[in-house]
Structure formats: C-alpha cells, structure tokens
Amino acid sequence: MSEASPDIKGIRKAAAIIKEGGIVVFPTETVYGIGANAFDGNACLRIFELKGREQDNPLIVHVSSINMAEKVAVIPKMYKKILGNVWPAPLTVILKARKGIPKSVTAGLRTVAVRMPDNKIALRLIEESGTPIAAPSANISKRPSSTRASHAIKYFYGKADAIIDAGSSRFGIESTVIDLDNFELLRPGAFSVDGIEKLFGRKLKIYGTQEKRGYVAKPKSPGMKYMHYAPLTPIFLFNGDIRSIGNATKPYAGRFIFIGSDESCKIAKRYAKDTIGIGRREDVDVIAHNLFDALIRLDGKTSEFAVIECFGEEGIGLALMNRIRKACSYKSFTDADSLIKLVG
C-alpha cells in the first residue's frame, strides 16, 4: 500500500494484532518501525528479543494526537502548543513518563521518548489500535535501519506478526531526539537543528565534538553508547580530498567497494572493485535518503572492506554524518598509511 492509497482493511488487521499484544512492522516518514502496544510490557519485551536489542535502550512511543501523548508523558504547558503545531513531524521529545508505561519501554528511566510520525498509515494504525505504539527502528540491533519494506521483510519476515509494505520511507533517516528539560540534542535526525531552534526560539545544546558527535564517555541517551548501523562488511570513512582517493587506497586497488556521491563514484570507480552511488553531491536529502539502503546493499556484494566519503554537516548533513561515522565505528583515514592501519 502507499500513503496515497492506504489499504484500510489491512491497517485494521494490523491494529487488531497490536490490540492482541502482537508485533507489527509499519512505515513512518523516517524509517520503518517495529511496534507493539506501548502499555503492554510483555509485547514490548518481545520487540527487544526480535531485534536482539539491549534492554537498557528505551523505545520511542508513537502517538496520533496530543491527547494520546498526554496519556504517556507529562507535557509542560509551554511546550504543548508548540508540539501541537509541529507534530506530526520527525521530532522526538524526551518527557517525564506517566505511571503505567512499562519498564521495557522506558528501560526503567523516569522519562519517555514520544513522537507523532508524519505518515498517514502510521497515524491510522495508531488510531485504529486505540493505543500508543512503542517502536524502535525495524532493524536487527546494530544493523542499518530499514528505509524500505524490503529491508524490514529481510530482517523480520516470519518473526513479526505483520509487516505493512508501503515502499520506501520519505526521509530515510531517523527522527531527531531532543531532551526538553536541558534543551539538548540527543540524536541528530530528519528534523534540522535550525528548524528546532526556530520552532522553540532557543539555542539547542549540542554534545560532543565535530568528529565524534553523539559519542560521549557518559551517554545522555542510552542509544548513544551502542554500535550502530554497521554493515557486516567493515567500512571506513575517507576524510581526504576525493581527487586523492586513488593514492589513499593504492595498496588495495580493485579490492574495496566505494560508497559516495555520483560525482565521487565516477572518480573512485577506477580504483575500486565496485561503487554504490547514493545521489548527486548537492542533493544532500537524496544522499541521506539512500544511505541505509546502500549499507544494506553493500552486504549483498563481496569485498574485503568498503570506503565511504565525507559530506558537509549543514542541515540534514549533521544526521547523515552522524550515521556514517557510527556505521564506520568512527574509523577514518586520509592516506594509504592510515588505511593500512585500519585494514591490517
């Protein structure tokens, strides 16, 4: 189905599964989610089992109205109007949790992550279920998120109780997570920092350094401390000028896969075994949209390792580089010597 022509009967079937304590994979505007009734602790526990997710990493609760959000969390008056106006949107806020939200959702924290997804199928599913839906991204833990139904099907076919196939996600990168108490960015995402600052009329605190944004010794969000988005093929970030890619990869000529902008692929294809183009350099939204798909496709090819290029960190570029750095486990190189140290 698609947002333009949703299969209401199918959505109702999925909603019945949620009501009965089952697990449904569903589309959102960012990535696919794997969800359960947010008030059903056991159902939510099953999500952790299916994903292989550490239990101290809490879930985002998806709602279809502000009223529903208030059943999950305490929304300070000053934020209620703002959230009411901006939602549905790829913006997740951390709020004080109401009693009754199971421990498996909050990982025992006193706070809960809440968002209203900007996807008609997701909203209808939540409405028809009559309950908020707790859902992490629909991927096996530590692996790239699903930005297409086909990815989620690969991960969860025969495991989840239903999978709603609605093609490709609009953004392809997860929501931005902010802590409203400290007004701090916990995870860059599809909603830009600029957009948040305009919306709230305040500067957002951004943790970490440029290279290691989101990588802090004492994580403020449980999700920060875990490895993320990693393909099975080792992948390294090329931090140099694309015109020197030939020199920097010389010891491994013809043995690696290059992921990058279409323009850079044209240059790199002379030196790489294969290339995966993810869009024109100027179309950062397209590049962000295609990143996870490229990381998943990478594992369908065989190569010793992969190389991915750097992008600017403006707008969605901040989230894009955050995902790329994590996928590379923060391993980067600028020349052949530093690459040899990484590949061994």
CB of 176 to ligand TXA, least distance (A): 8
Q: How far is the CB of 258 from ligand TXA (least distance, A)?
A: 27
Name the helix (H) or strand (E) containing 274.
strand 274-277
Find the binding residues for ligand TXA in span 10-69 (CB under 6 A). 28, 30-31, 33, 57-60
* Residues in 161-200 at the binding interface with ligand TXA, rule: CB under 6 A: 174-175, 177, 186-187
- The entry of ligand TXA, Mg ion, none near residue 33 (CB within 5 to 8 angstroms by kind) is ligand TXA
Least distance from ligand TXA to the Cβ atom of residue 198, Å: 21
CB of 112 to ligand TXA, least distance (A): 5
CA atoms within 13 Å, Cβ hemisphere of 52: 10
95 vs 259, which CB is nearer to ligand TXA?
Answer: 95
Strand partners, 122: none
What b/e string do you get for 225-262 counting C-beta neighbours within 10 Å, with b at 16 or more?
beebbbbebbbbbbebebeebeebbeebeeebbbbbbe
Cβ at position 156, least distance to Mg ion in Å: 14
Task: State the Cα angle at 190 between 187 and 192, rounded to 5°.
Answer: 80
Q: Are 69 and 63 in contact (CB under 8 A)?
A: yes
Query: Among residues 56 and 211, whose Cβ is nearest to ligand TXA?
Result: 56
Task: Please name which of 246, 95, 107 lies closest in space to residue 178, comparing C-alpha atoms.
Answer: 95
Answer whether 53's CB lies under 8 Å from 36's CB. Answer: no
Binding of residue 101 to ligand TXA (CB under 6 A): no
By CB under 5 A, how many residues form the interface with Mg ion? 1
Q: Which stretch binds Mg ion (CB under 5 A): 83-91, 116-124, 131-139, 242-250?
A: 131-139
Q: Which of 132, 136, 144, 279 binds ligand TXA (CB under 6 A)?
A: 136
Nearest to ligand TXA of 105, 257 (CB atom):
105
Residue 281 beta carbon to Mg ion: minimum distance, rounded to whole angstroms: 27
Listed ranges 39-47, 52-60, 92-100, 133-141: which one lies at the site for Mg ion (CB under 5 A): 133-141
Tokens standing for residue 250: 């010389």
Q: What are phi and psi of 235, to 5 degrees?
A: -135, 140
Kindly state the smallest distance separating residue 328's Cβ from Mg ion, in Å. Answer: 17
The candidate with the shortest Cα–Cα distance to 114, out of 103, 106, 124, 102, is: 106
Site for Mg ion in 136-175 (CB under 5 A): 137
Helices (H), the chain: 8-19, 41-51, 66-72, 77-86, 103-106, 120-129, 149-156, 193-200, 245-248, 262-268, 284-298, 317-327, 336-343
Give one DSSP letter per residue of 135-150, joined into a string.
Answer: E-BSS-TTSPPP-BHH
Closest CB to ligand TXA belongs to which residue? 223
Contact 97, 109 (CB under 8 A): yes
Nearer to ligand TXA, 104 or 111 (CB): 111
Residue closer to Mg ion by CB (options 30, 290) is: 30
Residues near ligand TXA (CB under 6 A) are 28, 30-31, 33, 57-60, 90, 92, 94, 106, 109, 111-113, 117, 135-137, 174-175, 177, 186-187, 221-223
Residues near Mg ion (CB under 5 A) are 137
